[in-house]
Amino acid sequence: MAAQAGIDRLARRIAPVTERARGQGIRIIHAPSYTTNVFYGDTEQRRIAREARTAPLRSLELAMRVRLTPRTGCPDSSPCREPTGPPWPWTRQHEAIRIAPGDAVSEDGDEIRGLLRKWGIERTLILGAHTDQCIIERSFGLRSLDAWDMPCALVRDLSEPFWPDRRHAVIEQIETHLAPTVLSSDLR
């Protein structure tokens, strides 16, 4: 499938950047959608995130319901539908991206907000799949970071939209309404 091939390429580009960042003391939070408690439930990285959970922000739930980008078309030529529940087509984060001791694993905005506070993080970078869905809309995504007044930038060449034909439009909307973008080559 074309979408899976794109994710494979993306993961292999992300892996060395996360290793380099970790080597420079940068904290890494992995957010593999819909798999954190199943695949990672008993890991130290998952415990780190659960213990950092903060009280939910109710006003944020309403803000998250508005989409920036309309979704049209499918990423592959075969008919597609959005997954509505398990079994998801994925079961874990891509194996090319190592989850190391000291990293955290969460897809929960309240846990991630707690981690950012606990670790004293004042700005973040966000990258991965899918720019037009998870990176914008999930409870840990750009909308949430903006609502938390957390300065953030999207690493645009290390993010891949679910709907590839929307790539430029999604990046433009992110830069206009949510956050600046950078290239991985800008990271030192």
Domain assignment present for 14: yes
Among 30-39, 55-64, 141-150, top mean pLDDT goes to 141-150
Give me the CATH number covering residue 13. Answer: 3.40.50.850
Q: Is the pLDDT of residue 129 over 90?
A: no
Q: How far apart are CA 127 and CA 140, in angstroms?
A: 12
Domain assignment present for 80: no
- CB neighbourhood size of 144 (10 A): 22
Range in 7-11, 28-32, 88-92 with the lowest mean pLDDT: 88-92
Domain assignment present for 69: no
The domain in which residue 122 lies consists of: 2-56+92-186
Domain assignment present for 148: yes
Please state whether the predicted TM-score (pTM) of the whole model is above 0.85. no
Q: How far apart are CA 164 and CA 132, in angstroms?
A: 9
Quote the number of domains for the chain.
1
